[in-house]
Amino acid sequence: MDLAHLIPILVSTVIAATPLIYAALGELVTERAGVLNLGVEGMMLIGAVSAFVVGIKTGSLLLGFAAAMAAATAVSLLFAFLTLSLQTNQVATGLALTLFGIGLSAFVGRGYAGMPIERVPKLDVPGLSDLPVIGPLLFSYDALVYLSLGLFAAVSWFLYRTHAGLRMRATGESPSVAHAIGEPVIAIRYLAVMFGGAMAGVAGAYLSTALTPMWVEGMSSGRGWIALALVVFGTWKPLRVMLGAYLFGGVTVMQLYAQGFGIDVPSEFLSMLPYAATIVVLVLICRDPKTILLNQPASLGKSFHPDA
Amino acid sequence: MSSENRLGALWPFRLEKRPAPSSAMRLASPLIAALAMLITGLIVFTLLGKSPAEAFKVFFIEPVSSSYGIGELLLKATPLTLCALGLALGFKSNVWNIGAEGQLTIGAITGGGVALFLGDSLGHFALPVMLIAGALGGMLWASIPAFLRTRFHTNEILVSLMLVYIAQLLLGYLVHGPWRDPHGYNFPQSKAFAENATLPLLIEGARVNLAYLIALVLALLSWFFSSRSFAGYRMLVAGLAPAAAAYAGFSEKRNIWLALMIGGGAAGLAGLAEVAGPIGQLQPVISPGYGFAAIIVAFVGRLHPIGIVLSALLMSLLYLGGENAQLSLQLPSSITGLFQGTLLFYLLAADLFITFRLRRVVHAAPAVLAN
Amino acid sequence: MSADPAPAVNEMPPRLQLRGISKRYPTVVANDRVDLTVKVGEIHALLGENGAGKSTLMKIVYGVTRPDEGSIEWEGRIVSIASPAEARRLGIGMVFQHFSLFETLTVAENIALAMDEKVKPADLAPRIREVSEKYGLPVDPNRLTHSMSVGERQRVEIVRCLLQSPRLLIMDEPTSVLTPQAVRKLFETLRRLASEGVSILYISHKLDEIRELCDTATVLRGGKLSGKAIPAQESNESLARLMVGSELKECQLKPREPGDIQLELTNLTLPSRDPFGTVLKDINLRVREGEIVGIAGVSGNGQKELLSALSGETLCPHSGMVRICGQPAGLRNPALRRKLGLTFVPEERLGRGAVPPMHLAHNALLTGAGAGMVRFGLVQNRAAREFAKETIAQFKVKCGGELAAASSLSGGNLQKFIVGRETRLTPKVMVVAQPTWGVDVGASLLIRQALIDLRDRGVALLVISEELDELFMICDRIAVIAQGRLTQPLPSSELSIEKIGVLMAGGEAKTAEAADVV
């Protein structure tokens, strides 16, 4: 395989991985605070439809992204209220959020299917973007791709280098201990869930305005769930989660290019690859239960009631 | 905690644990949720510029005002009941199989495969064999998350969900490729099933078929299983207190396998019932998400067989209402999905009051008063 | 709330004065108009048996819980303590009974979290070392908490409090996790702090300790103030009367010749499934018919792992490592071991020993399937109810009948039900973990007597407990577990608390030294 073939594959990989990075890093923060939000898929769809509709109505993609973040944060707040203030089961509520998101996005997006929207523009860096190999490989993306790297840096810095991050990790470790030493457990968890929501919103917006600039019902097609799997795969560590996202981006892109290389497999089987890969990596990482025990926030998915 | 106090000023109520869970609330909360969903729905209709009374009629009354309509109600309730019965047993025992949609799809493929390739030679036995093949197909698909969870500790939520997409792609491949009807003008669908491979109808002039009776029988069996059998008791303990199940020596693996096999089998049956019933052949899409809606059915039905039978009817009505609203009010049918999600949210919120109650906060006189 | 410097030291007001504190929960009144005064530089005991309301009162002082009524005066000023952070700003520090440390964080990170100034864990290290040297509390700031023994963890908690230079230090049952030697050292530290003017509020139910350490005492019973005392001038009996309302009765163990070996552990070596757990090393033990063998030890030394290997929740590498009534059982699951004649009372009652939302009849079924409660795979509800009813009557379980949910019972009554259930399943071998942990005095007595009755009927019993007094009361022989190793059991009559302390420290002392070196 020569460079001319390889470069577009790598470039598509990075682009395909970008929404996964946003969604997975957002969920990582949520889970680090001890909350399991299975509603990522639903929040992504709400983000996708919001960005698309607002983008078309206002003509501003910036407003579209803002709307996506606001809408996804709003539904994550609903999740937070149910699970944190009303102590509902996190698994059931997360499922409800996903089902709700699928329904709401389909409802809002009616009439927008098939409409064209302008794609998020690429940032052209004069000089650099024209360089051979390096130009297309490093300087041919839209701003969201670069911001996803910034997000990775920010999340890592927050978790491991700031006092607030320490408090959040501690809350996910043991909310009862955190409560006993005076941490506002519920407030911290609210913020973490909302951050996860906002990032899922960005991920969804990226789907409908950059990756495939259009609105289709259920267009996230499992990416929210894959993001959840990536957090496990990345053992709740930002760097590994991001690398996992690129790996999955690669798998997704592979199906598009495989036929071009004369690999004669029905397209359905190629489309199965990301889902099958998700199962395979989950098995690999969960094989030794200690890996999970050592890395998973100890209170993940468990309700906490300050008075109990 | 200080945030508690600040909240106290804005919200003069406090959640307080009841001394014992309220069994009245346990029954009332699905009704409260349904009512809240109805009110929300009417508000949405009004916002969309429709008369709420008219919309209510179109959504909830018209679909069931003919015997054909009743038949449709039961027809759509069939896969919902079947899937939800299986899922509920799992949810009760802490096994979160959310891939019923995939198991349903595989059940349709295996059972449908029997119809397509063995239908003629099996004669009168075609249907029973198809039913068994459908259930086995669903079980086979559910055995993947069961095996991975018991052997590799892999989370069954994500695995069963990923398998939904894989199953749907597999069905797509079959009807686009090897199983496509050669005389079907290139449409991605199989041959229509023969008479002997189609489920008999229950009511003249309606489409509801034998599968609904099977679903009701299974509901009875499932009731007996969970309330009287020791195996059902063991699953319940595993769900309520996993450590107690381990202490008592109830095998976790057996429990997981049992939950997933029952769930997969029931979903597989549901898939077969769709293709051997109203659809009559294999096509790329055989379910509008019954397997996912069944999750809501299971919860709204309190994970109890009778409750599930009833909540499946409610959910079925939402589907019919959505279709009818699309025809007569030009409302999008996706409103059904919106209602389904809302219903589950309301239910979860209402459930809180089973174990908690609201108490007015009597603000204790500030300490300054003392002495 | 601002943290004013301490008022001038002339006519000094008490450091802490509580008046008429009440706290009600839906099902229980935890504190009912309680008064408490702690003077400057005094070690003040808060005494009461389990459930008397001590912990609730301390949580109120530390701002974790808010009182429904009453006032709190701090150094002469009325204050309202809305959060632990506010308590710390006032100068109140607390060492919790179940430690408030995060397992996966380092010592410095743990301490940084509870400091109200934002400090980098790295910058804290020298300050931690300084305080730990000054008070003889060796602690390594960079160690991960989960790798530390309970004694070390307690030092971390104390150092954490001391870094904030507290003027009131609350210690909640601090010695329940310590070896007798470590208790000595802790007392030295506390006396030294008191001499520097720090007030100490010392919560305990151990009378000897209180008489030795404390200047004054406040006694609670059933949430109410039942008396004040100067412990040094009281006897154990008079303090017990204040605490319980009656004399403390003790069980009597009649000498008895033990019979055949019924429970046998041979070279039991087992890695822990929990990454923070203890590895069991080469454990050998024999328990005979008609004897009670006790296992003493500081928690976290392998008790949990040993119990799990005994019950069958963890299977052993070889079947011969555990023998029940002569049968190899190491590879059998709990249900199969029960068929061999083993019954088991776990440490955790709600959620392991009983299913919280299920009623008592169905909780009887949890382990009673073999006793006629299941036939042809079907639950025999009548038999289960009958069994539960009889258990309730025989063990005087206070509850709303056999259809009351397990979660509605008090800790003591639930424990009576579980012990009753396991007793009535006619065991040949019975393993009991922490038989009276958190149980009131009356129920404790009944439970201990039930165990002794079983012994006298020829059952082999193994009791794991952190309460040395209890072990001495009911055991024929006592062994000690330390760092996953078990000593040979010795007759109780040949042992003393000091001697057991030395054995308990077998591992503890080494790790403490290791920590000093680092």
CB-based contact (8 Å) between C395 and chain A? no
**What region does B259 belong to: left with phi over 0, alpha with psi -120 to 50, or beta?**
alpha
**Superfamily of structural domain C16-91+166-244:** P-loop containing nucleotide triphosphate hydrolases (3.40.50.300)
Distance from C-alpha of A20 to C-alpha of B125, rounded to nearest angstrom: 49
Q: What tokens appear for C377 in the block?
A: 């795979």
How many C-beta atoms surround the C-beta of residue A205 within 10 A?
33
List the chains bordering chain C where 3 or more Cβ pairs fall under 8 Å: A, B
Q: Within 13 Å and on the Cβ side, how many CA atoms surround B244?
A: 28
Q: Say whether B249 and C362 touch across the interface (CB within 8 A).
A: no
Using CA atoms, how far apart are residues A158 and B156, in angstroms rounded to an integer? 31
pLDDT at B20: 72
* Residues paired with C216 in a beta bridge: C44
Please tell me the predicted confidence (pLDDT) of residue C11: 65
What integer pLDDT is reported at residue B361 of this predicted model? 63
Q: Which helix (H) or strand (E) holds B224?
A: helix B210-228
Specify if A238 maps to a domain: yes
Tell me whether A235 touches chain B (CB under 8 Å).
no
Instruction: Tell me how far CA of residue A231 lies from CA of A43, A295, A297, C43, in angstroms.
Output: 16, 11, 11, 50
Instruction: Return the bridge partners of C343, or none.
Output: C430
Which residues make Cβ contacts (< 8 Å) with residue B55, sequence separation at least 6? B41, B42, B45, B325, B329, B331
Determine whether the interchain pair A181/C113 forms a contact, defined as Cβ–Cβ distance below 8 Å: yes
Instruction: Please list the rounded mean pLDDT of every run of 10 residues in chain B (371 residues).
Output: 44 70 84 91 87 88 90 95 96 94 97 92 90 97 96 94 96 94 88 90 88 96 94 94 94 94 97 94 93 93 94 93 86 83 88 79 44 33
Residue ranges matching CATH 3.40.50.300 in chain C: 16-91+166-244, 261-517
CATH at residue A202: 1.10.3470
The pLDDT value recorded for residue C1 is 38
**Domain range for residue A288?**
3-295
Tell me if A79 is assigned to some domain.
Answer: yes
C201 CB-side CA count, 13 A: 30
Q: Taking residues C158-184, what's their average pLDDT? A: 86
Identify the residue with better confidence: B79 or C507: B79
Does the distance separating the beta carbons of C362 and B233 come in below 8 Å?
Answer: yes
List the single best residue of A174, A179, A181 to mutate versus C (max C Cβ within 10 A).
A181
| Cα A271 to Cα A255: distance, rounded to the nearest angstrom | 6
ipTM field: 0.91
CA–CA min distance C347, chain B (Å): 11
Residue A237 at interface with chain C, using a CB cutoff of 8 Å: no
Between B236, B247, B369, which is nearest C353 by CB?
B247
Is residue A154, in this structure, part of any structural domain at all?
yes
How many domains in chain A? 1
| pLDDT at site B161 | 94
Round the CA-based radius of gyration of chain B to a whole number and report it.
23
| pLDDT 10s digits, A105-153 | 998 998 898 888 888 888 877 877 778 788 888 888 899 999 999 999 9
Q: Residue A304: inside a domain, yes or no?
A: no
Q: How confident is the model at residue C267 (pLDDT cuts 50, 70, 90)?
A: very high
Is pLDDT of C333 > 60?
A: yes
Q: Distance between CA atoms of C416 and C434, rounded to whole angstroms?
A: 13
Chain C contact for A181, CB < 8 A? yes
Closest approach of B10 to chain A, Cα-based (Å): 15
- Fold of the CATH domain C261-517: Rossmann fold (3.40.50)
| Pick from C84, C85, C113: CB nearest A170 | C113
- Owner of token pair 């003069």: B12
Which range among A64-73, B343-352, C278-287 shows the weakest confidence by mean pLDDT? B343-352
Question: Residue B141: exposed, middle, or buried by beta-carbon count in 10 A (0-12, 13-18, 19+)?
Answer: buried
Please, what is the Cα angle at A19 between A14 and A22, to 5 degrees?
A: 110
- For residue B162, what is the nearest residue in chain A, using CA coordinates? A275
Instruction: State the pLDDT at residue B364.
Output: 45
**Which amino acid is present at A81?**
F
* Exposure string for B273-300, b = 16+ CB within 10 A, e = fewer: bbbbbbbbbbbeebbebbbbbbbbbbbb
Q: How confident is the model over C387-400, as pLDDT tens digits?
A: 999 999 999 998 88
**B3: nearest CB among A91, A92, A184:** A184
User: What does the alpha-carbon distance between residue A280 and residue A283 come to, in Å, rounded to a whole number?
Assistant: 5
Residue C515's pLDDT is 37
Measured between alpha carbons, how far is C104 from A235 in angstroms, rounded to an integer?
Answer: 14
Q: Mutation test of the interface with chain C: which of B247, B354, B358, B368, choosing the one with the most C Cβ atoms within 10 A?
A: B247
Across chain A, mean pLDDT equals 91
C313, B247: Cβ pair inside 8 Å?
yes
Q: How confident is the model at residue A17 (pLDDT cuts 50, 70, 90)?
A: very high
Strands C429-433 and C460-464: parallel
